[in-house]
C-alpha cells in the first residue's frame, strides 16, 4: 500500500491508494473457501465504488492436496491505481495475510518450490496476519517465525474449514473471515457493506450474523520484532544468471540413497506420524507404502520417519497393522523436525513419555495375546 | 542387432559414387560412426532409411537402428539417446515432421545435438510429395540450425559439418538439413565419398561432458522452472545460436582444408555475381534452373547472378548485407509461403528485407513465390523473375516492394 493521497475519497477516511489481501490455504480442500473470501473482499469494496481484482497464484495450479496455496484480492481507489497490481503472479507486499488453517503459520511452501517462507513474509510492517484457530494467540505465535517487522496477529475463532467444498457442510468460515477483514481494514471494507453483500448473496440472516460474529470475536495480539519461534529452518538460495547456469536445463540430482537437502515437504503437513517403536513389529508396511519414501531403516530394523520429507498424508498410520503404533498428531504440537529413533534408542522411558504426551495414547506394549490378535509378534 | 562390421582396409581411398541425396546422407551416417538412428517412413526422407538399412544389411555399417511407431516416438528416441551420450541421426518430411513437433521443440530447449534431415515436402492436405520448405521453416524460431543443400555432394558435406557444429559445446543445438524432395533426395549425382580417416580427422568424438545422463553422473534434465528460470534458459539458447556463426565458420575452414571442398563462404554460394547488377536469391535446388537461366541471360548481355543461401539458421545477416548491398535489385525466390505476412511474401523474402532495413545503400528487394509443391521452375518462369527484378532495379514501383507468384495458373 502506498501512502499517496487517493484521488477519490472512499467511504471512510482513507489515505492509501490500494489494499491487498492474501488468503493462504490448503490446496484443493480450501480452494473454494479462499475464493469466496477474495471475491467477497472485491465485491464488498465495489459497493464503495472501488474497483478490484481477485486471482489465484498461477504457480499453485493445479493444486495438490494439502499443499499451501494462495489467492489474492486487490482493491484500489480507482482503475488507474489498480493497474499497478494487475498482470502479476503474486503481490510481493500485502496489507493483510489470512491463513485459514493455523498449521500454516509454520511456514508456507508451494508445490512449485520457492522455499519455505514465514507466513508473514509478504505482510507489510504494521499489517495484519489473520488466522482461523481454536488456539490462543500466544499458542499460534509460538509456532510462527520470529517477526522481522511488527504486525498484528488476529485470531478468528474456528478450525481449519473445508467450507465451500461440495462435499462439506458450510460453516460460515468465509463470512467470519470477511467480518475479521472488515475489522482490520474498515476504510476499505466497512462492516455494513460486507453485511449488505452477504445479505444479497445468501438471503440468509444467519450468514450476516456470522459476519458480525467474525468482526466482534476476532482477537488482536500485537507482535513486536523478535517475537515468535526461531525453530523453523530458513533456506536461501541464489538464482544464477544465464552466464553462470549450466546449459541444457541441467541440475544436480541426488546420488542413490541421498536425500535432497533443498526439497522439504513439511509445509503440506497438518498432522505428523509419531511411532511407538516398542510395539513396532518391523513388518515394513509403512516403509513400503509411504508415497514419499519418508521412512529410513534403523540399525535395529525399525522404521523412523524423516520428518523433513513427510507431508503428513497418514497412509503409514492407515497401513500399520498394530493399533496405536503409528499415531497422527496435530502438527502445531511440534516445533522441530528431528528424527526420533535415536532418542528412543538412548532413553526409552523419555521417548515413551514424549510419545504419550504428544499422541495422547499409551506407549505400553499390549499383551502377547492382544499383539497376536492384530497379527503382530512383539 | 549385432552386425559384424568388416575391418576398414588400411588402403582405404576416397571414391566417387553415383548417389542420391538420401544415399549420400546414409554414407555420412556410416562415416560419422553414428550410434543410434530412429526411423519411421515418409517420403521423401525414407530414402535415407532404406539406404542406411542396406548399408547395415551389407555389413558396412553398425548403428542401433530403431524403427519407431511414429514420428513423435522417433524424435523422442534420438533426443534421449543423445542425452545418454550417443551420436544420433533422425529425419522426416512434411506432416511427419509436424507429427514430431513436440519432441522437435523440446530438443532445442534441451540443447541436445540431434542431427536430422528434413526431406522437404509439401504439407498435406491436399496430398503432394514435391518440395516446399514450410516443414523445415516451421522450426525456424525454436533453436534448430537449418542449412539447405543444393547437390548430393553438399548433402553429405553438410551432414558431416552438422555433427561437428551441433556437438560443439559452444553450440550444442539440434540441426535439420533441408533436402528438396525428389530433386535432391531421389536424384543421383556423382559424390566424392571421403575416407573414414579423413572424416575422423574432421569430426571429434561426441562428448557431452558433465551433462551426460548417466548413473555415475546423477543429474536432472529439464525440471519445472517457471518464470524464475525460463528467461535465462532462453537467453542461453540465443547465445548458442549466435555462437554457431563462429563455429560454422571454423568448421567450414577445417572442412575445406581436409576435403578440399565447400566454397569461399560458409554461408553463401555466389554464382556470376562479380559484375552483376541484379541477383536472384534463394536456397536449395532452385539454384540449379536459375543458374541455367543466368548463363542464357548472360549470353544475351544481361549482368545477372545468383546468391544461394546455405544456412538459414543462424541467419548470416552480416554476410548477406555485405553481399546484397552490391546490387541494384535482388529477386528473392521462396519455395515456401507465409500467408498474411508483410507484403504477402515468403519467409526468406521478409528475412532478407529485414536484414537490409538499416542499410543506407540497399537494393530493391522483390519477392517471388515459385516452385510450390515441387513444381519445376522452367525457363519462362526464370525469365519472368529476371524481368521483374530488372524492372525493380530501374525503380519501377509497380514491381518492387511486393511479392509475385510465378508459374501459377490464373
A359-370 tens-digit pLDDT: 999 998 765 445
Residue A9's pLDDT is 35
B236: nearest CB among A114, A245, A256: A245
Q: What is the mean pLDDT of chain A?
A: 89
Interface of A with B in 54-93 (CB under 8 A): 59, 89
- How far apart (Å, rounded) are the C-alpha atoms in residues B151 and B285? 7
Which of B226, B259, B292 is where one domain is finished?
Answer: B259
For chain B, what percent of residues have pLDDT higher than 90?
92
User: Does residue B244 form part of some domain?
Assistant: yes
Q: How many residues does chain B have?
A: 410
For chain B, what is the domain count? 2
Task: Give how far A58 is from chain B: nearest CA, Å.
Answer: 10
Model confidence at A286: pLDDT above 70: yes
Lowest mean pLDDT, pick from A256-260, B48-52, B75-79, B351-355 = A256-260
Q: What is the mean pLDDT of chain B?
A: 95
User: Does residue B6 form part of some domain?
Assistant: no
Count other Cβ atoms within 10 Å, centred on residue A233. 12
CATH 3.40.920.10 in chain A is located at: 18-223
Handedness of CA B95, B99, B104, B105 (dihedral sign): positive
pLDDT band at B2 (very low <50, low <70, confident <90, very high): low
Residue A59's pLDDT is 84
B157 and B279 in a single domain? The answer is: no
pLDDT band at B5 (very low <50, low <70, confident <90, very high): low
Which of B201, B232, B259 is where one domain is finished?
Answer: B259
Please give the CATH number for the structural domain made up of A18-223. 3.40.920.10
CATH 3.30.70.20 in chain A is located at: 266-373
User: Does residue B2 form part of some domain?
Assistant: no
**Cβ contact, residue pair B109, A239, below 8 Å:** no
**Cβ contact, residue pair B232, A241, below 8 Å:** yes
Protein fold of A266-373:
Alpha-Beta Plaits (3.30.70)
Lowest mean pLDDT, pick from A317-326, A369-378, B28-37 = A369-378
Phi and psi dihedrals of A32, rounded to 5?
Answer: -65, -35
B203 and B69 in a single domain? The answer is: yes
**Cβ contact, residue pair A250, B221, below 8 Å:** yes
B32 and B145 in a single domain? The answer is: yes
pLDDT band at A265 (very low <50, low <70, confident <90, very high): confident
User: Does residue B9 form part of some domain?
Assistant: no
* Mean pLDDT, residues B378-402: 93
Interface A-B, measured as beta-carbon pairs within 8 A, has a size of 57
Residue A239, chain B, CB below 8 Å: the answer is yes
pLDDT band at A83 (very low <50, low <70, confident <90, very high): very high
B291 and B255 in a single domain? The answer is: no
**Cβ contact, residue pair B218, A249, below 8 Å:** no
**Cβ contact, residue pair A89, B227, below 8 Å:** yes
Residue A164's pLDDT is 80
User: Does residue B4 form part of some domain?
Assistant: no
Per DSSP, chain A holds a count of helices (H) and strands (E) of 11, 12
Residue B3's pLDDT is 58
- How far is Cα of residue A67 from the mean position of the Cα atoms in its chain? 8
Which residue range is the domain that position B127 belongs to? Answer: 15-259
For chain A, what percent of residues have pLDDT higher than 90?
71
Q: Look up the CATH number of the domain holding residue B58.
A: 3.40.50.970
**Cβ contact, residue pair B226, A248, below 8 Å:** no
B43 and B179 in a single domain? The answer is: yes
Phi and psi dihedrals of B294, rounded to 5?
Answer: -60, -45
**Cβ contact, residue pair A248, B112, below 8 Å:** yes
Q: Look up the CATH number of the domain holding residue B380.
A: 3.40.50.920
* Mean pLDDT, residues B57-72: 97
- How far apart (Å, rounded) are the C-alpha atoms in residues B60 and B54? 9
- How far apart (Å, rounded) are the C-alpha atoms in residues A255 and A247? 21
Model confidence at A267: pLDDT above 90: no
Which of B205, B230, B259 is where one domain is finished?
Answer: B259
Burial zone of B327 (CB within 10 Å; 0-12 exposed, 13-18 middle, 19+ buried): buried
Residue A251, chain B, CB below 8 Å: the answer is yes
Residue A7's pLDDT is 39
pLDDT band at A61 (very low <50, low <70, confident <90, very high): confident
Q: How many residues does chain A have?
A: 378
B220: nearest CB among A112, A241, A253: A253
Select the residue from A112, A248, A259, A262 to test the B interface by mutation, using most B Cβ atoms within 10 A.
A248
B116 and B196 in a single domain? The answer is: yes
Q: Name the more confident of A112 and B227.
A: B227
Chain A residues within an 8 Å CB radius of B220:
250-253
Select the residue from B114, B233, B242, B243 to test the A interface by mutation, using most A Cβ atoms within 10 A.
B233
* Mean pLDDT, residues A310-315: 94
Of A116, A123, A118, which is closest to residue A151 (Cα–Cα)? A123
Phi and psi dihedrals of A359, rounded to 5?
Answer: -85, -25
Of B291, B299, B300, which is closest to residue B272 (Cα–Cα)? B291
**Cβ contact, residue pair A247, B229, below 8 Å:** no
B171 and B294 in a single domain? The answer is: no
* Mean pLDDT, residues A12-31: 86
Handedness of CA B256, B149, B93, B174 (dihedral sign): positive
Q: Position of cell 498474411?
A: B340
Model confidence at B53: pLDDT above 60: yes
Calculate the alpha carbon distances from A329 to B120, B192, B403 in Å: 65, 77, 75
Interface of B with A in 220-249 (CB under 8 A): 220-229, 232-233, 235-236, 239-240
Chain A residues within an 8 Å CB radius of B226:
59, 112
A149-160 residue pLDDT tens: 999 999 999 999
Residue of B nearest to A250 (CA): B221
pLDDT band at A113 (very low <50, low <70, confident <90, very high): low
Lowest mean pLDDT, pick from A30-39, A60-69, A317-326, B163-172 = A60-69
- How far apart (Å, rounded) are the C-alpha atoms in residues B187 and B151? 9
Residue B172, chain A, CB below 8 Å: the answer is yes
Interface of A with B in 111-130 (CB under 8 A): 112, 114
B295 and B278 in a single domain? The answer is: yes
Chain A residues within an 8 Å CB radius of B224:
112
Select the residue from A58, A111, A247, A257 to test the B interface by mutation, using most B Cβ atoms within 10 A.
A247
Residue A272's pLDDT is 96
* Mean pLDDT, residues A242-255: 91
Residue of B nearest to A114 (CA): B228
- How far apart (Å, rounded) are the C-alpha atoms in residues B108 and B113? 8
**Cβ contact, residue pair A247, B240, below 8 Å:** yes
Q: Name the more confident of B397 and B335.
A: B335
Q: Position of cell 525469365?
A: B383
Model confidence at B185: pLDDT above 80: yes
Query: Which stretches of chain A are DSSP H helices?
Result: 31-46, 79-83, 137-141, 173-184, 191-202, 205-217, 285-289, 315-319, 341-346, 348-359, 368-373
B319 CB-near residues (< 8 Å, 6+ apart): B265, B267, B268
B79 and B217 in a single domain? The answer is: yes
Of B52, B72, B73, B75, which is closest to residue B64 (Cα–Cα)? B52
Model confidence at B156: pLDDT above 90: yes
B29-46 residue pLDDT tens: 999 999 999 999 999 999
ipTM of the complex model: 0.87
Model confidence at A373: pLDDT above 70: no
Phi and psi dihedrals of B177, rounded to 5?
Answer: -85, 125
Q: Position of cell 477474495?
A: A38
Amino acid at each position: 500500500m502506498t501512502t499517496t493521497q487517493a484521488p477519490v475519497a472512499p467511504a471512510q477516511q482513507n489515505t492509501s491508494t490500494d489494499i491487498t489481501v492474501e488468503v493462504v490455504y490448503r490446496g484443493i480442500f480450501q480452494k473454494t473457501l479462499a475464493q469466496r473470501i477474495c471475491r467477497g473482499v472485491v465485491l464488498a469494496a465495489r459497493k464503495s465504488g472501488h474497483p478490484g481484482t481477485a486471482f489465484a497464484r498461477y504457480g499453485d495450479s493445479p493444486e495438490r492436496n494439502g499443499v499451501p496455496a494462495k489467492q489474492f484480492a486487490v482493491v484500489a481507489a480507482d482503475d488507474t491505481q489498480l493497474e499497478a497490481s494487475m498482470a502479476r503472479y503474486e503481490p510481493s507486499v500485502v496489507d493483510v495475510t489470512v491463513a485459514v488453517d493455523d498449521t500454516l503459520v509454520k511456514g508456507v511452501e508451494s508445490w512449485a518450490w520457492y522455499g519455505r517462507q514465514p507466513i508473514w513474509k509478504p505482510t507489510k510492517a504494521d499489517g495484519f496476519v489473520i488466522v482461523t484457530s481454536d488456539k490462543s494467540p500466544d499458542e499460534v505465535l509460538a509456532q510462527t517465525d520470529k517477526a522481522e517487522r511488527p504486525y498484528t496477529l488476529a485470531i478468528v475463532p474456528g478450525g481449519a474449514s473445508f467450507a465451500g467444498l461440495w462435499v462439506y457442510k458450510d460453516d460460515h468460515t468465509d463470512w467470519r473471515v470477511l467480518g475479521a477483514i472488515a475489522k482490520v481494514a474498515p476504510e476499505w471494507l466497512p462492516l455494513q457493506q460486507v453485511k449488505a453483500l452477504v445479505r444479497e448473496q445468501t438471503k440468509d440472516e444467519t450468514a450476516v450474523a456470522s459476519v458480525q460474529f467474525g468482526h466482534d470475536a476476532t482477537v488482536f495480539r500485537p507482535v513486536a520484532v523478535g517475537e515468535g519461534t526461531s525453530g523453523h529452518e530458513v533456506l536461501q538460495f541464489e538464482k544464477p544468471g544465464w552466464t553462470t547456469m549450466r546449459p541444457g536445463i541441467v541440475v544436480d540430482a541426488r546420488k542413490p540413497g541421498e536425500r535432497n537437502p533443498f526439497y522439504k515437504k513439511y509445509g503440506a503437513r497438518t498432522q505428523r506420524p509419531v511411532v511407538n517403536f516398542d510395539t513396532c513389529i518391523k513388518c515394513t508396511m509403512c516403509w513400503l507404502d509411504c508415497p514419499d519414501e519418508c521412512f529410513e531403516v534403523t540399525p535395529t530394523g525399525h522404521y523412523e520417519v524423516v520428518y523433513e520429507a513427510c507431508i503428513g498424508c497418514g497412509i503409514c498410520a492407515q497401513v500399520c497393522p498394530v493399533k496405536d503404533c503409528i499415531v497422527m498428531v496435530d502438527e502445531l504440537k511440534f516445533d522441530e523436525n528431528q528424527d526420533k529413533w535415536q532418542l528412543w534408542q538412548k532413553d526409552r522411558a523419555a521417548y515413551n513419555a514424549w510419545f504419550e504426551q504428544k499422541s495422547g495414547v499409551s506407549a505400553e506394549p499390549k499383551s502377547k495375546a492382544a499383539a497376536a490378535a492384530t497379527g503382530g509378534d512383539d | 542387432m549385432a552386425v559384424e562390421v568388416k575391418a576398414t582396409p588400411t588402403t582405404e581411398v576416397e571414391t566417387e559414387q553415383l548417389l542420391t541425396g538420401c544415399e549420400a546422407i546414409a554414407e555420412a551416417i556410416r562415416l560419422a560412426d553414428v550410434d543410434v538412428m530412429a526411423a519411421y517412413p515418409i517420403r521423401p526422407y525414407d530414402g535415407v532409411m532404406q539406404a542406411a538399412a542396406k548399408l547395415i544389411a551389407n555389413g558396412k555399417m553398425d548403428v542401433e537402428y530403431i524403427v519407431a511407431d511414429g514420428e513423435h516416438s522417433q524424435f523422442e528416441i534420438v533426443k534421449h539417446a543423445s542425452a545418454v551420450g550417443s551420436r544420433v541421426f533422425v529425419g522426416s518430411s512434411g506432416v511427419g515432421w509436424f507429427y514430431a513437433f513436440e519432441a522437435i521443440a523440446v530438443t532445442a530447449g534441451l540443447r541436445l545435438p540431434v542431427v536430422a534431415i528434413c526431406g522437404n515436402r509439401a504439407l498435406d492436405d491436399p496430398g503432394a510429395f514435391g518440395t516446399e520448405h514450410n516443414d523445415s521453416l516451421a522450426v525456424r524460431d525454436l533453436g534448430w540450425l537449418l542449412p539447405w543443400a543444393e547437390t548430393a555432394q553438399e548433402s553429405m558435406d553438410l551432414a558431416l559439418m552438422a555433427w561437428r557444429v551441433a556437438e560443439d559445446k559452444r553450440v550444442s543445438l539440434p540441426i535439420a538439413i533441408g533436402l528438396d524432395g525428389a530433386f535432391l533426395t531421389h536424384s543421383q549425382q556423382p559424390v566424392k565419398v571421403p575416407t573414414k580417416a579423413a572424416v575422423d580427422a574432421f569430426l571429434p568424438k561426441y562428448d557431452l561432458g558433465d551433462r551426460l545422463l548417466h548413473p555415475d553422473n546423477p543429474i536432472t534434465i529439464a525440471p519445472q522452472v517457471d518464470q524464475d528460470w525460463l528467461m535465462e534458459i532462453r537467453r542461453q539458447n540465443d547465445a548458442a545460436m549466435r555462437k554457431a556463426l563462429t563455429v560454422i565458420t571454423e568448421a567450414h575452414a577445417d572442412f575445406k582444408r581436409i576435403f578440399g571442398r565447400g566454397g569461399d563462404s560458409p554461408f553463401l554460394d555466389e554464382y556470376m555475381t562479380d559484375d552483376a547488377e541484379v541477383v536472384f536469391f534463394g536456397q536449395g535446388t532452385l539454384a540449379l534452373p536459375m543458374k541455367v537461366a543466368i548463363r542464357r541471360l548472360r549470353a544475351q548481355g544481361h549482368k545477372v547472378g545468383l546468391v544461394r543461401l546455405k544456412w538459414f539458421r543462424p541467419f548470416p545477416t552480416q554476410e548477406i548485407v555485405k553481399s546484397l548491398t552490391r546490387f541494384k535489385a535482388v529477386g528473392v525466390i521462396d519455395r515456401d509461403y507465409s500467408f498474411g505476412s508483410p507484403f504477402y511474401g515468403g519467409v526468406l523474402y521478409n528475412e532478407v528485407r529485414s536484414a537490409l532495413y538499416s542499410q543506407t545503400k540497399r537494393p530493391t528487394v522483390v519477392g517471388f513465390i515459385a516452385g510450390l509443391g515441387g513444381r519445376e521452375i522452367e525457363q519462362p518462369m526464370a525469365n519472368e523473375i529476371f524481368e521483374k527484378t530488372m524492372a525493380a532495379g530501374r525503380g519501377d514501383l509497380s514491381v518492387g516492394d511486393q511479392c509475385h507468384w510465378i508459374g501459377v495458373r490464373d
